[in-house]
Amino acid sequence: MKFIITILTTNLVFGFSSSLSDSSKFTTNEIRFYSDVTIDSSEIITNNIRILGGGLTVYGTVESQITVIGGDVHIFSSAVINGKIVAIGGDVQTDGGAQINGKIVEASLDQGLIYRETFTDSAESGEKNFGISTFSQRTSDGWVHPQPDVFEYNRNEGLRFVPLNWNWDHGDESLIRLSFSLGYRFSSGEFIGRTTLESSLLKNRSATLFASGFKTVRTDDEFRLPEKENSWAGFLGRQDFYDRWDETGFEAGFGFDFSYLKVKGKFVRATQSEIPVDQDLWSFTNESNALRNNPFMDSTNVEYLEGVAAFRTASYSPLKTGLAILSEVEMTLKKNDSTLTDPSLRLTHIAMANWEVSEGVVLRNQLILGMGSESLPIYRQFGIGGLGSVSAQGYKSQVGNHMAQMNTELVFTEEFTENWFMVKLFYDAGMAFNSSDLVDMGTISEQSDTLLQSAGIGFGWDDGDGLKMGFNFAKPLGNDGPIESTVRLNFNF
């Protein structure tokens, strides 16, 4: 009988095909398998595992470290990786929707020890520069070569159609990448696009040199709401929450990817020009409403330096405790072939901090600070008010070369309500002002009535991958303005 028990145990661990189950109780620090291993969707793996000569298929949750030697790894969309998966001598395939909160390390021996690290690439709230990714994913993250959506719809470009987004890097084996995007603006009837040549450096490709030629749209309003949601607002309700301008030229720069910290710097020489508003833009409702005009601008040749730094903790996501920080600085050196004796500066700092107060209750916070020179052109100034800024207030009802904005909300998730919907209580506040107001700090402190504020309640639901649709009801504070009702396809921030 003792011999039979030994045989059964050996078959469990060293069999041709193994499947971990909830009834498995591991008492050693590391379990070894010499076969293919499948982690079912209901399983949570907390022990370290080493797989020799077999493959790994993950549907469930990994909290520990799994090392796969000589086999392939397939991570399905239902998987949650909070720990670490190391694949040596095999390929890693990750399906869309998988939550990579930990790390995936791939060392491909057959390609000359190519080393890759993959981190989470969530973008539930639209802040594309917060994503930490591998070299091969940077093009879609927008870190070096922004990959636009195929369709966008707005009051400046009408329908923007970008069907061609190509990348060539010899199947991710080459350290050189050539990227190409080409599209068409139907309102102005012109082609747009970008071509980028980049080269990665250092052992794990953590450094990048790049150069691009482009004709594209630019905006400073990406923090308000994702561009895809803004397109739906234009298509369904004839609304647009971005101000834009056209930029045509070239740029060259460098980037560093230090795990959860990214840094990028570039030099740009371009022509900035206005994109007219298309008042004939079709919409499903509100077709009689006049669309908002662009801020005034002249066509200008500029040269400027831009630096970006982005950081986030491994656990950052809208409904988990975590921190994300994005800082951008832009210095304009030359305008219309004239070198500026006093270079124009524009700085933006965004910090997001989430705290899971208790199970199913999350406190979310966002702070945005903006600072600019007095010479900052009107179309680059900061605006406070409107959706994605201070709810129930007029769109950019305050404008200046300085701004401060705070958004906070308490989210009661579906897990807490034990229903199919979540509930949000939120508060928004912000103020934009000019640097001349900073001369007398006492005066500013006494002008608290200029602070725009609002509060409200929201309802929404998700499918396990973030907010899919929600309804907000906001009331301005400090005045008798009406209650504003809005439909959101994402979190408020």
Q: d(Cα 338, Cα 395) in Å, to the nearest integer?
A: 34
Q: d(Cα 391, Cα 379) in Å, to the nearest integer?
A: 22
What is the per-residue pLDDT across 368-398, written as a single tens digit (0 to 9) for each? 999 999 989 999 999 999 999 999 999 999 9
Strand partners, 213: 195, 250
Distances (CA, A) of 456 to 412, 417, 428: 14, 18, 9
pTM of the model: 0.72
What is the per-residue pLDDT across 106-136, written as a single tens digit (0 to 9) for each? 875 544 444 455 544 333 333 333 333 333 3
Largest CA distance in the chain: 92
Task: Count CB-CB contacts under 10 A for residue 103.
Answer: 18
Strand partners, 383: 399
Q: d(Cα 409, Cα 355) in Å, to the nearest integer?
A: 11
Contacts of 480 (CB under 8 A, 6+ apart): none
pLDDT at 155 (0 to 100): 95
Q: d(Cα 279, Cα 287) in Å, to the nearest integer?
A: 10
Domain ranges of the chain: 2-118, 121-312, 313-493
Please give the distance of CA 90 from its chain centroid, rounded to a whole number: 29
Q: d(Cα 491, Cα 394) in Å, to the nearest integer?
A: 20
Q: d(Cα 265, Cα 410) in Å, to the nearest integer?
A: 36
Class of residue 369 by CB neighbours under 10 A (exposed 0-12, middle 13-18, buried 19+)? middle
Residues 357, 383: contact at Cβ < 8 Å? no
What is the percent of the chain with per-residue pLDDT over 90, rounded to a whole number?
A: 49
What is the per-residue pLDDT across 278-326, written as a single tens digit (0 to 9) for each? 998 899 998 888 899 988 899 999 999 999 999 988 878 888 899 999 9
Q: Looking at the domain covering 313-493, what would its CATH class be?
A: mainly beta
Pull the structure tokens for residue 471. Answer: 């309804």
Buried b (16+ CB within 10 A) or exposed e, 158-171: bbbbbeebebebee
Residues 444, 433: contact at Cβ < 8 Å? yes
SS (H, E, C) the chain: CHHHHHHHHHHHHHCCEEEECCCCCCCCCEEEECCEEEECCCCEECCEEEEECCCEEECCEECCEEEEECCCEEECCCCEECCEEEEECCCEEECCCCEECCEEEEEEHHHCCEEEEECCCCCCCCCHHHCCCCHHHHHHHCCCCCCCCCEEEECCCEEEEEEEEEEECCCCCCCEEEEEEEEEECCCCEEEEEEEEEEEECCCCCEEEEEEEEEEEEECCCCCCCHHHHHHHHHHHCCCCCCEEEEEEEEEEEEEEECCEEEEEEEEEEEEECCCCCCCCCCCCCCCCCCCCCCCCCCEEEEEEEEEEEEECCCCECCECEEEEEEEEEEEEEECCEEEEEEEEEEEEEEEEEEEEECCEEEEEEEEEEEECCCCCHHHCEEECCCCCCCCCCCCCEEECEEEEEEEEEEECHHHHCCCCEEEEEEEEEEEECHHHHHCHHHHHCCHHHCEEEEEEEEEEECCCCEEEEEEEEEEECCCCCCEEEEECCCCC
Task: Count CB-CB contacts under 10 A for residue 448.
Answer: 10
CA-CA-CA-CA dihedral for 274, 279, 285, 289, to nearest 10:
100
What is the percent of the chain with per-residue pLDDT over 70, rounded to a whole number?
A: 83
Calculate ∠ Cα 3-7-12, nearest 5°. 150
What is the per-residue pLDDT across 170-188, written as a single tens digit (0 to 9) for each? 877 788 989 999 999 999 9
pLDDT at 440 (0 to 100): 53
Q: Answer yes or no: is pLDDT of 4 > 50.
A: no
Mean pLDDT on 232-238 = 92
What is the per-residue pLDDT across 423-474, written as a single tens digit (0 to 9) for each? 999 999 999 999 776 555 454 445 556 899 999 999 998 765 556 788 999 9
* Amino acid letter for position 205: R
- Do β-strands 484-488 and 467-477 pair in parallel, antiparallel, or remain unpaired? antiparallel
Residues 156, 187: contact at Cβ < 8 Å? yes
pLDDT at 399 (0 to 100): 95
Residues 429, 367: contact at Cβ < 8 Å? no
